[in-house]
Amino acid sequence: MRIFWILLKKELHSFFVSPVAYVVLALVMVLNGFAFRAALSVLENAPSEGSIVSWTFHALWFWLSYFFIFPLLTMRLFAEEKKMGTLETLFTAPVRAWQVVGSKYLAAVIVYCVLWLPSLINFKFAHWITAGQVELPSGAMGGAYLILVVMGMFNLAIGCFASALTSNQIVAAIISFTISLLHFLLGIFIMVVGRKISDTIVDIVNYFAATEHIRIFTAGLIDSRPIIYYLSMSLLFLSFTHHVVEFRRWRP
């Protein structure tokens, strides 16, 4: 466990020493600002059932940031070390593969959580400046941030896996981007053809669709199924990553 913390510290260090964390943070803040503005203008024009939280996370701006975060945070995790050869130095120190995979993943999750902190300020600020007229329902707030975190964990695990597969950061980024995009498009697919196909298929697709999860959770409805889905998938992809990293040590 001691080794794990040392590695985690080092991973966080390389996130915050390199410009990566700051560039992504800036990008997310800008896009979030647009999403927030879009939500405000919806509420301004007509009375609405949705809260400002749910409108913010329904804005296309939010989804734009959603696609870019994961590849940017995870592409360098393993690919860079492979390219530089430092994976060799790392694995000839007395460290175990799970410690390396776990620390890299956890560091990415921590940075990811930090990215969403500024959006909290947006909400609090709107609430405060309108003297409470913009409501922040605790269910919507809790649900939204909960689903953001678990969805992030899932996508980061995929990104981690993609990065472990290759020594090229661009390839890793594209794999992780594609998977996040497909995940989002499932929801769009239902929106477009939902009425023409059977309800069973709609239900199955909705079970996986990120947009659907956001819709439910930002309405303040906390459903355990997506949480279990995302967490178990994260574990699955982390174990894949572990296998890829350990593969080097396999004996025929």
Which of these ranges, 14-22, 187-195, 198-206, 232-240, lies near another protein under the rule CB under 8 A? Answer: 14-22
Q: Which residues, in sequence order, are CB contacts of 27 under 8 Å at separation 6+?
A: 65, 68, 72
Q: How far is CA 168 from the centre of its chain?
A: 21
Residue 93: left (phi > 0), alpha (psi -120 to 50), or beta? beta
- What 3-state DSSP class applies to 24? helix
Please report, as residue ranges, which positions from 67 to 126 form the binding site for another protein (by CB under 8 A). Answer: 84-86, 88-89, 91-96
Please report, as residue ranges, which positions from 190 to 249 form the binding site for another protein (by CB under 8 A). Answer: 248-249
Is the CB of 16 or the CB of 184 nearer to another protein? 16
C-alpha span between 192 and 215 (Å, rounded):
16
Kindly state the smallest distance separating residue 15's Cβ from another protein, in Å: 10
Which of these ranges, 10-18, 62-70, 171-179, 199-207, lies near another protein under the rule CB under 8 A? Answer: 10-18
Q: Would you count residue 165 as binding another protein (CB under 8 A)?
A: no
Is the CB of 96 or the CB of 124 nearer to another protein? 96
Q: How far is CA 133 from the centre of its chain?
A: 31
| Spatial CA neighbour of 61 closest among 48, 74, 42, 44 | 42
Residue 226 has φ and ψ, to the nearest 5°, of: -60, -35
Question: CB of 16 within 8 A of CB of 114?
Answer: no
Kindly state the smallest distance separating residue 2's Cβ from another protein, in Å: 8
Is the CB of 84 or the CB of 182 nearer to another protein? 84
* Residues, the chain: 252
Q: How far is CA 118 from the centre of its chain?
A: 16
Q: How many residues bind another protein (CB under 8 A)?
A: 24
The one among 3, 29, 40, 149 contacting another protein by CB under 8 A: 3
Kindly state the smallest distance separating residue 5's Cβ from another protein, in Å: 9
Element (H, E) at 10: helix 2-17
Q: Would you count residue 47 as binding another protein (CB under 8 A)?
A: no
Helices 97-129 & 20-45, crossing angle to 10 degrees? 40
The one among 13, 23, 41, 120 contacting another protein by CB under 8 A: 13
Is the CB of 195 or the CB of 251 nearer to another protein? 251
The one among 44, 46, 198, 251 contacting another protein by CB under 8 A: 251
What residue ranges bind another protein (CB under 8 A)?
3, 6-7, 10, 13-14, 17-18, 84-86, 88-89, 91-96, 248-252
